[in-house]
Structure 1
């Protein structure tokens, strides 16, 4: 079977690597390995230099790790190959790229010091500068970055890093001027506003800093670290009312992101005087973090990851950086890399609820029950946290505890309505309650909730998919359902679940040939979803491909279907599908059966 082939490949590569990497006695004065066969002369040994064999083994392991999507193993393997031959710049490039991908900046720095400066890629140069910054070697930061050529966004990052190094040398005016250099790209210049404001604070120019923070907020920049620092600045200069006005609309909302502002709002109301006299390392990390967060919407996710990894290397104990990096990695599917950064956020951090929420979803993919327990524990610890209660409602729904989930969402909706939240803020709650009500068989109420969610988020693919599928499965408003699902496919074309929904809506519309094409694509993208295989079997049956239908139904039974799906599949395997009265041939069969 095809599913067995990767195992054979893995075993073959593992054996080859083990043979090549193992320690063997010296075979000759050339320190070689003897292999007891030769194509040119049977029986004569083939001599391989052991250093070449070691490099081959390491590069083979690196290629294999990349092939099976194991970036950590690839990073280790390529670095191992490079250290066996540090003169090989191709190996250096591969090893650097692989270690940048997983955030192993210590290794990137170690390797960069072994090659000529001209061979170092831009992000390795930044890593060397970040190391110098973390060690307080400000002159080395400036020296490392001076004259280097970077892309526009990396130039902006490098300029601000140099500016903080100048600030560390007591050159506040030069630092601000460097961070204010015109790039010619308006988005990048705007992205630097909060970072420049932090430089001004360090240079004791508070009022100018407040003006820059105000400008950044007018451009809707919403760096959590930057806004929190700004609120501290307002408190420190006696502008308590302004600090509260800044924080209230951010803190008193139910999103996970809002949970970061609740603690400082409580301090504002308790009379706290604010503190901007933080240590240099914290100051630089927060300043550069505001820059990265402001740039991220216009940059590829991998570049944002690389810059956040640099900040984590600069300040490994920063809760702000760890939370931002962990959430970014999790949001883009790098769960294994995200977990340690999320887990290191301290329990007294304002980012704790947000990062524990993200961690709970990582746990859910392997152990839904444990994830639910963690959600309950978070609510027990933070009973007034709207974000924690929302996580619990979502976890109850994901674990199909629909009665409890419906009640939890209902309570959250009542609280949000009492606080006059906007539809843009409440639609996830209506979406969650609508899903729970639909699964409980309360379709009219569910439909009302789902339509509220769709009206508030008309281009949210999950909402379009759920509502479109629910209507199509009931045979209701099929044209509307097909339209929503086509829009969902446009927004998320590689989603097997959405393709399945669209294919099923075509099936329910009697468009069987079109449905077969779409469901075959869905099965190719999501081969492990029982529902997709079940639906594909149904469409094959309706198009006269009965044997293929039974193959798909049998395959669906191997893909952990629900108890209800299992029973339906067993009936279909025994009896097939009942005739379709909308098709002439099937209608004739039904008429014949009735006459008999």
Structure 2
């Protein structure tokens, strides 16, 4: 060492980022979806300048988005609720409900705040506080939800829960089924919640009758209910009720905007009802859609393998890795799930999907075969596994074996348009049994006339049979139904070219070229250059 710097010099050269640098870093983290980092940086800024409301709100918002509710509540501190952003007030309401302070929660939701109104939630939450207490006045609170309110669709499910709290299972059954039918993405969660409530109310028969679908979570819950055990999916408290409502809002907003608010809502739902794994699955799925794969995985991996939602959690994890283009990891996780001691048909089906995504169709066929060997005898959707097994065999060049599985799928689901179309089209491609192939596709089209891919199959069958004018009409209809499918436009172009309508054919091929994959693009480009021939015709 040539010389030693004095302590004062060391203090002089210590780097301290400026407020502008911190804000820029926080904003950059926020934009790339790193809410945890953004919350930390905004919190530092808020501590240095407590009067800056913009920074304070961003700090709270990013803390909520990251799921760090302890930090969010600490940042909120003693601020007046009326000064807070919408997400912060929702968190305060959830915290009040968790702390058994329902009156405070309702007051927070009823505030006229500059950042936006949450009044539409006040009446449903009030209803839930009465349901929790088994107060018969709950129905009056439900009836008081205005018909024009955003919350009005919730009246049916609230009514069912209110009746179940009073052990009126016969009347609740009608409303519960209506709520499930209208539940959309929450249908499984509602089904399990109602089944839990029916069993608690002493009506095991109605609980079992609700659990009649092929979904793995439902089947797991049914086994528990059949043994007289509650599946642990009940909604009984106002905090849990708010969480279920927030899930509904998140799904609606995600369908319309796909922005960050749906994730925030599911994070608050997780806070309000931390023991319900459905909130974790929904939150993880939305974070995966928003390209927050690591956050999604962190949420999904908190779900225990003993949970009724374990299979859905494993599906969501593999899907999140696949979407993030981490296919080797996705395949490794799917293999691990399939190799577990208690692996079932869902685990092998998931592995088959991952193998297919990795372009390993022969291995996928083997995995589907393992899944089929483990299928429960009463599984209503068993035909789907035979269809997928046949599809993997067909794509890996084993048509004779594929046809056996496809015929089995047809025997199990003779009215499935998907099965009829696949079996018919596969024969059409090979020039086999053309009369029967066209009949299968025609029946599929009759059963599902609005399906563009099936309409395309019918048009292509007509083209293969020499029915040129019919084919052009049908393929034009298919292209109108789905303008984004390359194969439909290519088929239409081939039919138009064969009819001598060369200019229109080029238009269709150009439309196909925009959305075609690499293999299809080369074939279409050759047609645009030299016309349709035996070597570049679509199949």
User: Do they superpose with TM above 0.5?
Assistant: yes
TM-score by length of 1: 0.62
**CA 1:338 to 1:81, structure 2 compared with 1: closer, same or farther past 3 Å?**
same
Contact 2:487–2:512, Cα closer than 8 Å, also in 1: no
Change in Cα spacing, 1:541 to 1:260, as seen in structure 2 (3 Å) is closer
Counterpart in the other structure of 1:184: 147
Cα offset, 1:149, TM superposition: 6.0
Question: C-alpha separation between the residues in 2 aligned to 1:481 and 1:432?
Answer: 29
Q: Counterparts of 1:317-332 in structure 2 under 5 Å?
A: 317-330=275-288
In the alignment, is residue 398 of structure 1 matched against residue 357 of structure 2? yes
Does residue 356 (structure 1) correspond to residue 314 (structure 2)? The answer is yes
Label 1:380 to 1:146 Cα distance change in 2 as closer, same or farther (>3 A): same
Using the TM superposition, give the Cα deviation of residue 56 of structure 1 relative to its aligned residue in structure 2, in angstroms: 0.8
Could you list the runs of 5+ residues in structure 1 that have no partner in the other structure? 1-22, 28-32, 34-49, 524-530, 545-578, 584-596
Shift in Å, 1:148 = 4.2
Count residues in correspondence: 470
Please provide the CA RMSD for this pair.
5.0
Is this contact kept in 2: 1:236–1:274, CA < 8 A? yes
Residue 214 (structure 1) aligned with residue 174 (structure 2): yes
How far does the alpha carbon of each residue in 1:265-296 deviate from its partner, in whole angstroms, 9 at most, with x for none? Answer: 223433x1658998xx9744543344345556
Structure-2 separation of matches of 1:450 and 1:151: 57
1:265 aligns with 2:222: yes
Counterpart CA distance in 1 for 2:299 and 2:46 is 28
Aligned to 1:113: 77
Residue number among 462, 474, 481 corresponding to 1:487 in the alignment:
481
Query: With structure 2 as the length reference, what TM-score do the two structures score?
Result: 0.68
Task: Report if the CA contact (8 A) 2:64-2:72 is conserved.
Answer: yes
SS across alignment from 1:449: helix
Match of 1:556 in 2: none
Structure 1 residues 267, 95: closer, same or farther in 2, change over 3 A? closer
Indicate whether 1:430 and 2:384 are aligned: no
Task: Find 2:245's aligned residue among 291, 294, 310.
Answer: 291
TM-aligned CA distance change 1:234 to 1:138, over 3 Å: closer
Whether the aligned pair in 2 keeps the contact of 1:379 and 1:389 (CA below 8 Å) is yes
Q: Distance in 1 between matches of 2:264 and 2:100?
A: 22
Matched, 1:338 2:301: no
Task: Look up the SS of the partner of 2:151 in the other structure.
Answer: helix
Distance 2:250 2:129 in 1: 23
Shift of 1:349: 0.7
CA contact (8 A) 2:97 2:238 kept: no
- Alignment partner of 1:225 is 2:179: no
1:309-320 paired onto structure 2 within 5 Å: 309-320=267-278
1:307 maps to what in 2?
265
How does 1:22-37 map onto structure 2 within 5 Å? Answer: none
Select the residue among 357, 371, 388 that pairs with 2:330.
371
Q: Considering only CA atoms, is the larger Rg found in Structure 1 or Structure 2? A: 1
CA distance in 1, matches of 2:79, 2:296: 30
* 2-structure distance, mates of 1:399, 1:345: 26
Q: Distance in 1 between matches of 2:392 and 2:141?
A: 53
Deviation at 1:408, TM superposition (A): 5.0
Report the Cα offset of residue 437 of structure 1.
1.2
Change (3 A) 1:277 1:379: closer
